[in-house]
Amino acid sequence: MAFIGLIVGAGFASGQEALQYFVAFGTRGICGAVLASVLMTVTGIAVLQLGSYYQATEHTAVLGRISSRVTSWILDVSTIVTLFCIGFVMFAGGGANLQQQFGIPSWIGATVMLALVLVAGMLDVDKVSTVIGAITPFVIVFIVGATAWTLATANPDWSTLNLVSATVVTSLPNWWLAALNYVGLSIMTAVSMAIVIGGANLDTRAAGLGGLIGGFFFLLMLMLLVLALFVSVSTVGREELPVLALINQLHPILGVVMTFVVFGMIFNTAIGMFYALGRRLTRRKPALFRPVFIVACVIGFGLSFVGFRDLVSYVYPVLGYLGILMLFVISVAWLRGREKVSTEGRRRLRARVLLARKLDPRKRYTRKNQRELQRLIRESNVPDKEFIAALEEDMTSELLADADLDYDPDDPPVNLVYVEHTEPVAPGEEADGSKRRS
């Protein structure tokens, strides 16, 4: 679900991406949506598993390992450019959102968005993003509901629809390159956080399964969206936010609700992009974060007046082409290292089993088991201390969850791996120098 939340963002919710990347190519665009979903699934598995394999806490921890110094630098710069570009496109999206629904001049909506982003950037952005992130399920419900209703009530004339869809303005040359570009764009916007999400999982197989399931649900949502926009292209093809137009056809009140839901999604994306950009640019001088953040937002606000549709049409494809390089590097690294990832996954699973045995007083834990556990720790690709910390955090959170207790990751970890394993001493008896079993 976290992976879906990354790739189903404000651009997806607006429908403008689906319109230009897929609907513009008619029935071939539907094939492009299937191709993009398959590629997204494979890439999602690769990104999440690589993040898990390297136990990454930020994207350079993976990119620096799987590519040369020059390529890693290019990808890092590309990620920075993407953060800025997606951020200022969101200002334009905020203005277009309110203008389409209420007729408010776009500069007012963009200014409101700028003010909200600047205020949030000065506060605890994690809490703000968590609250706004709760809007994502509503977006999914609205999109699925509107698209399902549209498809159920449509009586399409496919030949006419192909002619009308050809009038949709797009800067992309053909359907298959559009599909590849869309995946590249999605990866560029999601790679930083997706790597961190993968790195939070010690189990590489679980991380890969998350990418697989996430890709499947992404396929369902994208196909519903593309098909619904395609059969309604004559009425929504020229709208800035075609999904909002679809929902207004259901009921005007739902359209008003969706306006604010999409505005919240746009805000969440904008603050996420500019906050990450500010942190990345001031990595070595954190004290400069606020002035850098403010300047970046103001510059982005100025660029947003080009217009939401035009920005999506020209900025997004450029980012998508940069993303194709990212897609190639990650996919090649994952394919070449699949055996290592699988071996490491089995190693970590075995270490968890041994540690669980050690903690269970009903099971016998031998010196041979202890030596095996220490050998697994040494053989892991993750440094010993990091592996132990990840293993202990993983087991501690699971044990406390089973006991229905709260777990705070900021608390000092319990030393579970190297704890002295001795027979327990009965209450009231003298220990005679022996240690109680922890």
All domains of the chain, ordered by start, with CATH?
2-336 (1.20.1740.10), 338-438 (no CATH)
Q: What is the pLDDT of residue 278?
A: 87
Average pLDDT over residues 349-360: 88
40 against 131, higher pLDDT? 40
Average pLDDT over residues 391-414: 63
User: With 0-12 CB in 10 A as exposed, 13-18 as middle and 19+ as buried, what is 119?
Assistant: exposed
Q: Is the model's pLDDT at 416 over the cut of 80?
A: no
pLDDT per residue over 374-384, tens digit each?
A: 999 999 988 88
User: With 0-12 CB in 10 A as exposed, 13-18 as middle and 19+ as buried, what is 343?
Assistant: middle
Closest CA to 78 of 91, 61, 59: 59
pLDDT per residue over 152-165, tens digit each?
A: 888 888 788 888 89
Measured between alpha carbons, how far is 326 from 49 in angstroms, rounded to an integer?
Answer: 15
Give the chain's mean pLDDT.
83
End-to-end, the C-alpha distance of the chain in Å comes to 37
Q: Is the model's pLDDT at 189 over the cut of 60?
A: yes
Q: What is the pLDDT of residue 425?
A: 43
Measured between alpha carbons, how far is 191 from 7 in angstroms, rounded to an integer?
Answer: 10
DSSP 430: -
Q: Give 100's Cβ-side CA count (13 Å radius).
A: 30
Q: Are the beta carbons of 182 and 19 closer than 8 angstroms?
A: no
pTM passes above 0.85: no
Measured between alpha carbons, how far is 95 from 430 in angstroms, rounded to an integer?
Answer: 75
Q: Where are the alpha helices (DSSP H) in 200-336?
A: 204-231, 233-236, 242-250, 252-281, 289-303, 308-336
Q: What is the pLDDT of residue 404?
A: 57
Contacts of 362 (CB under 8 A, 6+ apart): none
Query: In this structure, what token pair is assigned to residue 315?
Result: 């900025």
Q: Is the model's pLDDT at 277 over the cut of 90?
A: no
